[in-house]
Chains A and B, each alone.
Chain A
């Protein structure tokens, strides 16, 4: 194209309408990735606390419940401030919709909130031990899906880089949650009692990085955003921070409190970066029509799908849906 030709009403582009995105950009604010982090940490911490309790590690148990409580406390504000109509946040519990991870997640968060408040409350104050004993397993059980439903929430959209990762993203978030819970407990707990926390932090961090790597690979072309612009930088940062933190804790976390704290901080930062990488990648993925049109057009060319358009003569009895 000569510059002359470019300087006009752009002639029809086979791939898009004036290069405009097909999908709308998500409208979510920065609170959301931070909630992903906080919620994940809270959920995993509840699990850690409960397990530690069973193991008789009462210091770790108490610290982990505190972490869970903190993570829980910041979650609703983060979610509510992201709403377009915050005063209507209660509508989140107006219905229960299995087709909406956000709906189910809201119920999980609500239930987890109740259970964790009782569990942690009784743990820290020593009051109502019976109620506490009852609430602890419930909180722990709910903590696990609380940590991973957010991955399902993203995967359940049309954003190619998110939906394409519906099988892998939950593991990225699980690993991250484990890492953040472990890291927080490592920081908060004395060297003596923190061994499980350190193992969880190191294992979680490695799992998160590994899962993210697998996810990007499995995404193929539509995974491109993870290597470009903001999402690219964040992904690299997340990997580096997680590995550095894990290494530091593994190497010196048992002897040096300082090293444990530093390692915990690195992993925490790494997990936050990972959540942000996923978040930003979604925006980049939605912004470029090629990620939307490309794979769909390819599907049709390959005959895996007939697509939504049909010329005269073509049969309108699709054999496609069955073959999926």
Chain B
């Protein structure tokens, strides 16, 4: 239909007015308006997702173009939310594309007053060393009665409740194997 518009009715507005004397309707329509389409239609793909805010679990449709999220809106298929979203859910696209979002790793030395840059692999490596050291330093083999404890309380973890189930699983698995018991979550708070 928009194609048809391009072929016809593209004479200057003033001439198009001959068929729309008051110039309030079609004659005033610009070429851009005549060929307008929503960005959801020109997206490369849409994937179904779930809102990251509260626990209602509203369905979301995430539209992607050129490997960038261009729109997130309610998923009408969801029997939970029926396509609807609250203000936070409706702002999700702004959240994932937020200009304030941090994309680079930052490192602060003891007693330093500024951040420094640090690459991901080095950082992970440093953290691994610190975990091993803290663990060795604070390992509790048994309690005063000689009963086995087999744990460390030198490392603590506090997770938010926007982590995936699979992530929580892996975290609990790793830390339990490392003997760390102070593994906690927003669910406690």
Contact = CB atoms under 8 A, between A and B. Distances in A.
A and B touch in the complex (CB under 8 A): yes
Interface of A: 93-99
What 8 pairs between A and B have smallest CB-CB spacing?
A: A95-B23, A97-B23, A95-B13, A94-B13, A95-B14, A95-B17, A99-B22, A95-B28
Contacts of B27: 95
Nearest to B16: A95
B189 interface: no
B184 to A, nearest CB: 40
A94 B14 CA distance: 6
Given A95-B28, A98-B22, A99-B24, 13 more contacts: A93-B14, A94-B12, A94-B13, A94-B14, A95-B17, A95-B23, A95-B27, A96-B14, A96-B17, A96-B23, A97-B22, A97-B23, A99-B22
A94 B17 CA distance: 10
A95 B17 CA distance: 8
Nearest to B30: A94
Contacts of B28: 95
A107 to B, nearest CB: 11
A97 B12 CA distance: 15
A95 B13 CA distance: 6
Contacts of A96: 14, 17, 23
The SS class assigned to the B binding surface is: helix
Contacts of B24: 97, 99
A96 B28 CA distance: 10
A21 B164 CA distance: 49
A319 B23 CA distance: 30
Interface string B6-31: 00000011100100001110011000
Nearest to B21: A98
Nearest to A98: B22
Pick from B12, B22, B27 the residue with the most CB of A within 10 Å.
B22
19 contacts: A93-B14, A94-B12, A94-B13, A94-B14, A95-B13, A95-B14, A95-B17, A95-B23, A95-B27, A95-B28, A96-B14, A96-B17, A96-B23, A97-B22, A97-B23, A97-B24, A98-B22, A99-B22, A99-B24
A99 B3 CA distance: 31
A97 to B, nearest CB: 5
A95 to B, nearest CB: 4
A98 to B, nearest CB: 7
Interface string B43-76: 0000000000000000000000000000000000
A93 B14 CA distance: 8
Contacts of A93: 14
Nearest to A99: B22
A101 to B, nearest CB: 14
Nearest to A91: B13
A99 B17 CA distance: 14
A301 B22 CA distance: 35
A94 B12 CA distance: 8
B36 to A, nearest CB: 19
Contacts of B17: 95-96
B99 to A, nearest CB: 26
A95 B25 CA distance: 12
Which of A93, A94, A99 is the most central at the interface, judged by chain B CB atoms within 10 Å of its CB? A94
Nearest to B14: A95
B30 to A, nearest CB: 9
B108 to A, nearest CB: 44
A98 B28 CA distance: 14
Nearest to A93: B14
B115 to A, nearest CB: 43
Contacts of A98: 22
A98 B20 CA distance: 12
A94 B23 CA distance: 10
B59 to A, nearest CB: 36
A171 to B, nearest CB: 28
A95 B22 CA distance: 9
Contacts of B23: 95-97
